Structure 1
Amino acid sequence: MRSATFLAQEGSSDVHRRAFLADSLGATAAVKLPAATPSTALSSKGTVGTAHLLELREGLRSLYHLDDAYGGGDVRSLAVKHLRRVRRVINTRDYPDTIGRQLRLLAGETAEHCAWLFYDADDQEQARAYWGEALTTATMLRETALEILVLASLSMQASFEGHPRDGYDLARAAQERAAQYGSRVLQSLIASREARALSLMRDDSGASRRLADSMRLVERADRGRPSPDWAAFHGHAELDYAQGLLYTEAGHHGRATSFLRAALTHQDRTYGRNRALYRLTLARSLVTSGEVDEGAAQAVASLEHLDEVESGRVLRRLTEVVDLLAATDATSARQAASELTEYVQERGAA
Structure 2
Amino acid sequence: MARARNEAFVAWMEREGWSAPALAKELDDVVRDLTRRSRPGRGLSEITVHKWRSGETSWPQEKYRIALEEVSGLAVADLGFAPSDRRKKKPAPVEDEDPVHRRSFLALTTGSAGAAVLGPPVAGVGGGDVLRLRQQLDALMVLDDSRGGHDTLERAALAGAQEAVALQEKPATQRIRQQLFSLAADYTATAAWSCVDARQSSRAQPLHERALHLAGLAQDPAATMRVWNSVAILAHQRGAHAEALAAGQAARATAAARRDPLFASLAHARIAIAHAHLGDHRPAMRSLDHAEKALAKADPARPRPSWIAFYGRAELHAITSIVHDRLGNSPAAEAASHHALTALPQVFARNRAFATARLALAQLHQGDLDQATATTARIFPLLGDAALPGRLRTLLGDFHRDLITTAPNAPVAREWADRYRTHWSRT
Asked whether the two chains share a fold, i.e. TM above 0.5, the reply is yes
SS at match of 1:301: coil
Displacement after TM superposition at 1:66 (Å): 0.8
Residue aligning to 2:399:
321
Cα-to-partner distance string for 1:30-81 (whole Å, 9 max, x where unaligned): xxxxx9xxxxxxxxx8222221221122111111111111111142222122
Which range moved further: 145-154 or 125-134?
A: 145-154
Residue correspondences, number: 304
Which range moved further: 239-248 or 170-179?
A: 170-179
Matching of residues 1-350 of structure 1 within 5 Å: 46-73=123-150, 74-91=152-169, 93-178=170-255, 181-222=258-299, 227-309=304-386, 310-326=388-404, 328=407, 329-345=409-425, 347-348=426-427
TM-score, normalization: structure 1? 0.79
TM-score, normalization: structure 2? 0.66
Q: Tell me if the contact between 2:138 and 2:306 (Cα under 8 Å) persists in the aligned partners.
A: no
Displacement after TM superposition at 1:223 (Å): 9.2
1:235–1:96 Cα change, 3 Å = closer
Displacement after TM superposition at 1:118 (Å): 0.9
1:304–1:215 Cα change, 3 Å = same
Q: Tell me if the contact between 1:181 and 1:225 (Cα under 8 Å) persists in the aligned partners.
A: no
1:264–1:86 Cα change, 3 Å = same
Alpha-carbon distance in structure 1 between the residues aligned to 2:422 and 2:182: 45
1:308–1:182 Cα change, 3 Å = farther
Cα-to-partner distance string for 1:225-274 (whole Å, 9 max, x where unaligned): 66544222212211211221112111222332121122122211111111
RMSD (CA atoms): 2.5
SS at match of 1:51: helix
Q: Tell me if the contact between 2:360 and 2:372 (Cα under 8 Å) persists in the aligned partners.
A: yes
Cα-to-partner distance string for 1:142-176 (whole Å, 9 max, x where unaligned): 32222222223222322332222222222222212
Displacement after TM superposition at 1:320 (Å): 2.1
Q: Please, which runs of 5 or more residues in structure 2 have no aligned partner? A: 1-74, 76-121
Larger radius of gyration: 2
1:98–1:235 Cα change, 3 Å = closer
SS at match of 1:195: helix
Q: Tell me if the contact between 1:121 and 1:313 (Cα under 8 Å) persists in the aligned partners.
A: yes
Displacement after TM superposition at 1:193 (Å): 0.6
Cα-to-partner distance string for 1:96-120 (whole Å, 9 max, x where unaligned): 3332222122111111111111111
Identity %: 27
Alpha-carbon distance in structure 2 between the residues aligned to 1:297 and 1:180: 39
Alpha-carbon distance in structure 2 between the residues aligned to 1:263 and 1:308: 24
Displacement after TM superposition at 1:340 (Å): 0.7
Structure number with higher relative contact order (C-alpha < 8 Å, ≥ 6 residues apart): 1
Displacement after TM superposition at 1:341 (Å): 0.8
1:306–1:56 Cα change, 3 Å = closer
Alpha-carbon distance in structure 1 between the residues aligned to 2:158 and 2:299: 35
Cα-to-partner distance string for 1:282-316 (whole Å, 9 max, x where unaligned): 11221222100000101122121243554110111
Alpha-carbon distance in structure 2 between the residues aligned to 1:213 and 1:53: 36
Alpha-carbon distance in structure 2 between the residues aligned to 1:228 and 1:191: 19
1:141–1:80 Cα change, 3 Å = closer
Alpha-carbon distance in structure 1 between the residues aligned to 2:389 and 2:365: 24
Cα-to-partner distance string for 1:3-30 (whole Å, 9 max, x where unaligned): xxxxxxxxxxxxxxxxxxxxxxxxxxxx
